[in-house]
Amino acid sequence: MEQNRGTWSSRFGFLMAAVGSAVGLGNLWKFPYLAGENGGGAFVLVYIVLIVLLGFTLMLAEMTIGRHANSDAYGSYNKIKKGWGFIGGFGVLAGFLILSYYSVVGGWVLKYIVASFTGIGADKSGYFSNFISSPVEPIIYHLIFMGLTAVIVIRGISGGIEKAAKLLMPALFALLVVTVLRSVTLDGAMEGIRYFITPDFSEITLKVVIAALGQVFFSLSLGMGIMVTYGSYLSKDEDLEKDAFLIPSLDSLVAILAGFALLPAVFAFGFEPGEGPGLMFITLPAVFEEMPLGMLFGALFFLLVFFAALSSSISLMEVTVAFGIDQFKWSRKASTIFFTTLMFIIGIGASLSMGAWSDFLIPWIDGNSYGIFDFLDVFTSYYLLPAGGLLGAIFIGFIWGVPNAVKEIKMGSAFRTEKLWTVLIKFVVPVLVFIILLSTTGLLDKIIG
């Protein structure tokens, strides 16, 4: 059984895999826009403070639970305290559902790597909407993306996930630096740099802090069971405290570099900055078209985005695969094939909801009705993840108990931040995550008006 689970062969490999899980599309298409719209450098400062408070604290907690129990997300909580496995179960379910639609977006990125060479045409918006609403082509790319993820995960921890991370993450950093250097040296780039980093402290309101709080939580893959699962493959002498500082720091570095890579180029060619798929698949192809050697830089950029998406999808897949291995005693191959097939089928529905099935809507408790793609996003991001994060903090602070967690952490660390971490995990983090939960469900707006 132990051999079936696997372990990390090196600290560098673990760190690259953990950073890869945290670095995803949100770093690239959401953070730069959020920063620019919410006080620039002031937002970045608030974000960094919250990374330390929330990111470090919860990441250390999740890795500690996983390493102590040496099991999947569900099994780890259940092993420590019988009947509490449902907290990890939230993470397993979230990872399963998120990858079902995330891989559809991963397929879009693959398509745009190809399109960077073949050409997109003048109507960027029309090209994108025609592609994603097509009943066949996006599903083919979704299948390729899921297949690539499965091939890596099926090879195990050290032979698959770790090897891929050691290749993907340094390549991602290198491509990002090249893109930054090209972007900031364009004529007119300074306006975008100013938009991104000029601090405007008058913009820092409660809503801005909550936006930063949500971005920290979702960017670091907290509440998904990923860090519990990855932590379960660590040796007892691993310095968890140091890792919990390094992973959020590197994730933040990518987010900040993404701001310097995207916004100066967007402003240099007179485009409006935005967020989400519109920035990635409509605005940026138009920017690259205007840029000298734009075809090359467009292809390099979408390759970088693909690396970010693939590294995140690998970690999401591993959460569910580890669940199958530990709870059902399946082989890694059987678990990977089973969950990949289910995710692919759900992903077909998510893809078709952009076109042929766009009229099929799911009513939800917030009073809105959503297509399959949007429903999966709302249900996981706004409900499952914050609920899992909140319960996880309560679990370690009051159910398992801080002294037990501290004992586990000190097996490989001097744990110099013990007193600070104790206060944060018991009192500060539960309040912060509860605010995220209120905010994402819309209840906070009703409370504060």
Give how far the C-alpha of residue 11 lies from the chain's centroid of Cα atoms, to the nearest Å.
21
Q: What DSSP state is assigned to residue 155?
A: T
Ordered per-residue pLDDT tens for the chain, 449 residues: 344 578 999 999 999 999 999 999 889 888 998 888 888 888 998 999 999 889 999 999 999 999 999 999 999 999 999 999 999 999 999 999 999 999 999 999 999 999 988 888 878 889 999 999 999 999 999 999 999 999 999 999 999 999 999 999 999 999 999 999 999 999 999 999 999 988 888 888 888 888 888 888 888 988 899 999 999 999 999 999 999 999 999 999 999 999 999 999 999 988 888 777 888 899 889 888 888 888 899 999 999 999 999 999 999 999 999 999 999 999 999 999 999 999 999 999 999 999 999 999 999 988 889 999 999 998 998 889 888 989 999 999 999 999 999 999 999 999 999 999 999 999 999 998 898 888 877 787 778 76
Number of domains forming the structure of the chain: 1
Measured CA to CA, the distance from residue 437 to residue 217 in angstroms comes to 11
**Count of residues for the chain?**
449
Task: Output the domain CATH number for residue 200.
Answer: 1.20.1740
| Six token digits for residue 218 | 């979702």
Measured CA to CA, the distance from residue 55 to residue 219 in angstroms comes to 9
Claim: this prediction has a pTM higher than 0.85: yes
Q: Report the percentage of the chain scoring pLDDT > 70.
A: 99
Calculate ∠ Cα 179-34-256, nearest 5°.
35
Shortest CA distance to 418 belongs to which of 433, 403, 431?
Answer: 403
In order of 114, 144, 222, 320, 437, the CA distances from 104 in angstroms are 16, 10, 22, 18, 26
Measured CA to CA, the distance from residue 76 to residue 85 in angstroms comes to 7
Residue 243: other Cβ atoms inside 10 A: 23
Task: Answer yes or no: are the C-beta atoms of 354 and 133 closer than 8 Å.
Answer: yes
| Six token digits for residue 115 | 């399109």
Shortest CA distance to 212 belongs to which of 33, 87, 86?
Answer: 33
Instruction: Give the torsion through C-alpha atoms of 409, 22, 219, 95, to 10 deg.
Output: -90
Range of the domain at 282: 2-448
Shortest CA distance to 338 belongs to which of 352, 353, 323?
Answer: 323
Task: Answer yes or no: are the C-beta atoms of 74 and 88 closer than 8 Å.
Answer: yes
Shortest CA distance to 395 belongs to which of 89, 84, 94?
Answer: 84
